[in-house]
Amino acid sequence: MIKTGRPPRRAWIARLGPRGEVDLQGAASPRAMVEDAVARVGAGPVRWAIELNSVVLRRIVGEVPVLGGSPAAVEMLRRGNEATTLRALFTLAEGPAATPPTDEAILEGIREFVHRAIPLERVLHGVRVGHAATTEAFLRACAELVGPADAVDEVTAISRELFSYVDELSDTMIRTYLAEHEVWSTSAAAARADLVRSLLSDAAAVDVDEASRALGYNLRRTHEAVVVWSDSPKGGATLQAAAIEVLRARGATTTLVIPVASGRLWAWGTVPPGGTDRTDATHSTGSWETITEALSRQRMRAAFGTPGSGVAGFRRSHREAERGERVERLRCEAGRAPRHATAYADVAAIALLATDLDAAGDFVRRELGGLAARSAPMEALRTTLYHYIGAERSLVDVARRLHVARGTVTYRVKRAQEVLGHDLDDRRFALHTALALAEELGDAVLLPRDVEA
C-alpha cells in the first residue's frame, strides 16, 4: 500500500478527485512514477490529473491534429502530457522549487515531432492549447474548493505559478527541438526521408538514377508498397524488421524502409514485374497466411498496395497502401475485428467509395433507409442480405457462410426487404454497394444512434 507524504502547501490540492472512475493502473506513466506522485500529493489528486490529461489530450489533437497522426503517436503524446500535468500538480502542491526536472517522456515526444517534420510553431501551438486547458481545469477546481474570501488571491497565485511553469517548460521544449533538429537535419535518415517525400509529392523534380543511388534502392524496378503500424509505441527496429519480413514474404528482393511516426512506417520492396512470383498479387499461396500470422504475433498491422513499375508505380502503390490503412482504421473504429494484413485489391472499392466519408454515409442511409439503424437486429439483416445478393441468392451458400439455418436466412431476407420497402432487383447494384459499405465501415455510415428503424 502506498503511503501519502506531507500535506500539500495548498490544502485544496489534497481534495482534488476525478469525476469518473480512474484506475491508476491505466496511467500512461511508468508505475514507479505514479507511485511517487501518489506518495507526494495523494491518490485523489493523481487520479484527477490522469483524468484531466485525457481531456487535454483530446483538445490538443482536436485543434492540432498533426500532433496525433496514429494511435501510437497519440499514446506517446498522452504519456508526455501526463508527465506535464503531474509536474504542474507538483508545482502547485509543493512549490516551483520542488518541481522535478523535465521528464524524458516529454522530451521523447519533442524529438519524435522533429523526426516527423512537424514545424516548431505547430508544437508550440499544441503546448498553448494544453496549457490553456490545464490552467482552466486548475482554476475551476480552485474556485470550487477554496472559500470565497481566499478565492481571488488563490486564483491569482496559481495563474502566476502555472504561467511561470509553462514558460520554463516551453523554453526547455524549444531548446530540445532545435538541438534535435540540428542533429536530425544532417543525418542520413532525414535525408532519405526528405528524398522519399519529394518522390511522393513531385517525382518529376527528382533525378531517378541519382535518387536510386542515394537511397540504395532501384526506383526503376517494380515496387510493392506497405504501411506497417502498431497501436502502441514500438521500437523502430521492431517495426523495420516486421516490414522487411512481410515484404520478403511477398517476394521482394530489396527493400526500402522509412519511419514516419512512432509506431508507423512506410516501406517498399522490389518485386518481379508481374507482381509476386506466387499465384496472384493479393492471395499468394503460402505467403499471405504467413504474413498475417507474423503480424498478429507482433501485434502489428500492415496495408499493401498493388505492384507498380518505376517511380509512378512507387507512388501509386504507396497511395494504395495508405488508402488500405485508412479503411482498416475506419473498420476498427466501427468495432470490426482487426485484419492484420490488408491488400488494397481487396478493399479498393470500399476505399474509393469512402474517400468522402460524409457522402458515403449519405448514400448508405438513403439506399438502406431503416435498414441502416444501429442495432443488432438490423445488423443481422444487413449482413445476411449482403451475402445473399453476393451469393446470387443461394440460401445454402449464405447459411453455410453465416453458420445459420436456411430458414433463418429466408426469414432475414424477407424481413430486410420489408424494411427496405422495395424489391431487391430495384437498384440492385446501389443496394449491394450500400450494404458493402455498411458491412465494412459500420457506425461511420449508419443512422445516428437516436434514430430507430
Q: Is-above-0.85 flag for pTM?
A: no
> Does residue 29 or residue 450 have the better pLDDT?
29
pLDDT band of residue 8 (cuts 50, 70, 90) is low
DSSP letter string over 377-401?
HHHHHHHHHHHHHHTTT-HHHHHHH
d(CA 400, CA 134): 55
> Does residue 180 or residue 98 have the better pLDDT?
180
Contacts of 10 (CB under 8 A, 6+ apart): 92, 93, 154
Please report the pLDDT score of residue 101 as a whole number: 75
Please report the pLDDT score of residue 203 as a whole number: 62
What's the CA angle centered on 80, arms 79 and 86, to 5 degrees?
A: 90
Taking 50 as the threshold, does the pLDDT of residue 281 lie above it? no
How many other C-beta atoms lie within 10 A of the C-beta of residue 36? 18
**What proportion of the chain, given as a percentage, has pLDDT over 70?**
92
Please report the pLDDT score of residue 1 as a whole number: 40
Number of residues that make up the chain: 453
d(CA 393, CA 424): 10
Taking 70 as the threshold, does the pLDDT of residue 453 lie above it? no
Contacts 24+ apart (CB under 8 A), 374-378: 374/443, 374/446, 374/447, 374/448, 374/449, 375/452, 375/453, 378/419, 378/453
Least confident of 41-45, 102-106, 188-192, 416-420: 102-106
pLDDT band of residue 6 (cuts 50, 70, 90) is low
Please report the pLDDT score of residue 4 as a whole number: 47
Q: What is the CATH number of domain 207-352?
A: 3.30.70
What is the pLDDT averaged over residues 302-321?
A: 95
- Which cell goes with 430? 446501389
What is the pLDDT averaged over residues 4-18?
A: 76
d(CA 119, CA 110): 11
Residues paired with residue 304 on neighbouring β-strands, in sequence order: 226, 343
d(CA 431, CA 443): 17
What is the pLDDT averaged over residues 211-225?
A: 92
What is the pLDDT averaged over residues 325-340?
A: 87
pLDDT band of residue 51 (cuts 50, 70, 90) is very high
Please report the pLDDT score of residue 107 as a whole number: 83
- Which cell goes with 388? 445473399
DSSP 20: S
What is the pLDDT averaged over residues 260-272?
A: 89
What is the pLDDT averaged over residues 11-22?
A: 90
According to DSSP, the β-strands at 264-271 and 254-261 are antiparallel
Please report the pLDDT score of residue 204 as a whole number: 65
The beta strand positions in 288-404, using DSSP E, are 301-304, 308-309, 341-343
Report helix, strand or coil for 27: coil
What is the pLDDT averaged over residues 283-307?
A: 81
Arithmetic mean of pLDDT over the chain: 86
Q: Which range is most confident: 228-232, 282-286, 446-450?
A: 228-232
| Cα-based torsion angle of the residue sequence 331, 335, 340, 342 in order, rounded to the nearest 10 degrees | -20
> Does residue 187 or residue 194 have the better pLDDT?
194
Expressed in angstroms, the distance from the first to the final Cα of the chain is 52
**Residue of 74, 9, 85 lying closest to 41 (CA atoms):** 9
What is the pLDDT averaged over residues 246-267?
A: 88
d(CA 25, CA 39): 15
| Fold observed for domain 356-445 | Arc Repressor Mutant, subunit A (1.10.10)
Cβ pair 224, 275 in contact under 8 A: yes
d(CA 170, CA 165): 9
Residues paired with residue 256 on neighbouring β-strands, in sequence order: 268
